[in-house]
Amino acid sequence: MRQLIAAAVQISCTDEVENNLDKLENRVREAARRGAGLVVLQELFEGVYFCMDEDISHNSRALTLEGHKTIARMAALARETGVVLPVSLFERDGSRLYNTLVMIDADGKVLGRYRKSHIPNSPGYSEKLYFADGDTGFRVFETAAGRIGAGICWDQWFPEAARAMVLMGAEVLIYPTAIGSEPSFRGWDSRDHWQRVMQGHAGANLTPVIAANRVGVEKGEANEIVFYGSSFIADHTGAKLAEADRVSDSVITAALDLDEIAAARRSWGVFRDRRPDLYGVLLEPTPERLLAKNEA
């Protein structure tokens, strides 16, 4: 039996980087005291979610990964507490900027990076202004906590990404996230839809999912977003094992038996009965009838 206690952390953020890191560190230590071997942190936790505005001065936030102080601090924390820590950062690589996840193993070793593949663009979430399309392909990391498939926020809406990572050997899927209210659709609450999509990935792939969102009200120059938290851990059937509330800095944990889940995944038949010969349409461009129209 390989039992993993998985955790997700959600906090509210300001633009005081060290204060945000202090809050996260305290929560990671709490998760470790509760036995966690994997602690998933939210997307772009160093500061406010700057993508709510279209202002290229925010590009100065991007840093190279070499010599990155946050990576060094999180690596030391992972080594001290013995937990696997995925770290979400704004990466600069020459002239290219990426929304990047760095996977840190339980001994503090950096295992590699994943660059966000799907980049959204809508009022309040203007990420295409800041981030290049990820060029790493989907990644599965061999960690002390098991084989972890990592997506980032908008990636979580694409079933192809989840299935690809499980086919690559992922035993757990994680999604650091920043999602809340929609400035262009006042009163629309996507929380339940957001959760159900990832619960579907878990159930369809018989693979647990961990999503860590942020909380709090963040105000930009033109937009304001209320991040709704609700971080959760779903088991391999899609059932929620643990869930945070919508407003509080929180740590949630859940126990996963990776061997038992692997046996269920092998026996259920959804991988045995796949028909890749029929899936060619997935490689074609999206039909025009499914694309939104911008009407004058």
Point out the residues that are catalytic.
43, 116, 153
For residue 110, give both structure tokens.
């950096």
What gap in Å lies between CA 42 and CA 54, rounded to an integer? Answer: 22
What gap in Å lies between CA 22 and CA 41, rounded to an integer? Answer: 13
Residues 83, 39 contacting (CB under 8 angstroms): yes
Q: Where do the H-state alpha helices sit in the chain?
A: 17-33, 69-81, 159-167, 191-205, 258-268
Residues 253, 242 contacting (CB under 8 angstroms): yes
The contacts of residue 224 (CB under 8 Å, 6+ apart) are 52, 181, 183, 217, 218
Q: What residue ranges in 94-249 does DSSP mark as E strands?
A: 96-104, 110-115, 139-143, 146-150, 172-176, 209-212, 215-219, 224-228, 232-234, 240-243
